[in-house]
Amino acid sequence: MTTLVFGHKSPDTDSTGSPIIWAWYLNQIKGEDAKPVLLGEPNTEAAFMLDHWKLDKPEIISDVAADQPVVIVDTNNPAELPTAINSADIRAIIDHHKLVGGLETKGPIEIRIEPVACTATIMWKMIGDDLAQAPTGIKGAMLSCILSDTLEFRSPTTTQEDKAIAYSLAEDLGVSIPDFAAQMFAAKSNVSAFSDAELLRMDSKEYEIEGTKFRVSVLETTSPKMVLDRKDSLMASMPEVATEDGVHQVLLFVVDILNEEATMLIPNDLTRTVAEKSFGATVTGDTVVLPGIMSRKKQIIPNLKL
């Protein structure tokens, strides 16, 4: 049976590119039968990556069958995976997020989790010298994943390994990192086609503080104005999205990639309290700028207080 390789729901560049990279490796190097799939429509940056490197858009699946062989990449969180994930035959997990708990495997399998910025960085290390056999598209996907997850090395999640591997790939591909990253971020920043609810869910993780559930949403953009011009209708959509998703409140952080700061929307007292207690911010209007805040994983989630 073909092994399905996939990342998390609401696929970003790493969750779109890493399955393609790993399925290539399993097929071409390991001689296995593997296929990359997606758990949803890729975001605009991921779509740009597919287009730029002439990669086929993977099929989108909604769930997995029992005993389906799967490889999970870029997450270990059951909430971000198909409902039936624990009935599947999980063959391997490659990830760079904290261990959440909840995934179970039937037997011992290969699990590689490392505290680097990007799944593709770990894959680069695992593939080793065999990468020489990879076509341009696979190397291009790797570079795209690293530049995306590190925000071109601006994110505090960036490690020396991510950086060195990205430089090595760019050299090999003859790509200028600043030019290519600018194209990627422009693609990601083009959010005009999305509804408010789609924007609030596009890059989002649930997090609970003392029994209060939050949807912590981030929009990384080089054009924060494009999002912030819509702040009134975004804030108006928050209660409905929260209710539908079973959380108390949506928190939206608009990350300005180039200026290295985040703007948090403050629709009500609850979000104002969170902004003040978590980031020591002084809130006067319905938005607040948080200088230096770029990473949900390293800077937002660990500091959230109520």
Instruction: Using CB under 8 A, list all residues that contact its own copies.
Output: 90, 93, 96-116, 297-298, 302
What is the closest distance, in whole angstroms, from the C-beta atom of residue 104 to its own copies in the complex?
Answer: 5
Enclosing H/E stretch for 3: strand 3-6
* Rg, the chain, Cα only: 19
Block residue for tokens 């002084």: 282
Q: Cα separation of 237 and 235, whole Å?
A: 5
What is the closest distance, in whole angstroms, from the C-beta atom of residue 216 to its own copies in the complex?
Answer: 15
What is the closest distance, in whole angstroms, from the C-beta atom of residue 75 to its own copies in the complex?
Answer: 11
Q: Which is nearer to its own copies, 87 or 183 (CB)?
A: 87
Between the alpha carbon of residue 99 and those of residues 11, 29, 77, 102, the distances in Å are: 19, 29, 8, 9
Q: Which is nearer to its own copies, 120 or 266 (CB)?
A: 120
Q: Which of 107, 67, 61 is nearest to 87 (CA)?
A: 67
Let me know: does 81 contact 72? Beta carbons within 8 Å: yes
Concatenated DSSP letters of 23-86: HHIIIIIS---EEEEESS---HHHHHHHHHTTPPPPEE-S---TT-EEEEES---GGGS-TTGG
Q: Cα separation of 276 and 129, whole Å?
A: 49
Q: Which is nearer to its own copies, 201 or 205 (CB)?
A: 205
Q: Which residues are registered as beta bridge partners of 254?
A: 219, 263
Q: Which is nearer to its own copies, 104 or 269 (CB)?
A: 104
Question: Rounded to a whole number, what is the distance in angstroms from the first to the last CA of the chain?
Answer: 48
What is the closest distance, in whole angstroms, from the C-beta atom of residue 8 to its own copies in the complex?
Answer: 14
Q: Which is nearer to its own copies, 20 or 116 (CB)?
A: 116
Q: Which of 30, 32, 4 is nearest to 127 (CA)?
A: 30
Q: Which is nearer to its own copies, 48 or 124 (CB)?
A: 124
What is the closest distance, in whole angstroms, from the C-beta atom of residue 295 to its own copies in the complex?
Answer: 11
Between the alpha carbon of residue 105 and those of residues 8, 35, 66, the distances in Å are: 18, 20, 13
What is the closest distance, in whole angstroms, from the C-beta atom of residue 187 to its own copies in the complex?
Answer: 26
Q: What angle do helix axes 119-127 and 13-24 make, rounded to 10 degrees?
A: 20
What is the closest distance, in whole angstroms, from the C-beta atom of residue 247 to its own copies in the complex?
Answer: 20
What is the closest distance, in whole angstroms, from the C-beta atom of residue 98 to its own copies in the complex?
Answer: 5
Q: Which is nearer to its own copies, 92 or 262 (CB)?
A: 92
Q: Which is nearer to its own copies, 96 or 188 (CB)?
A: 96
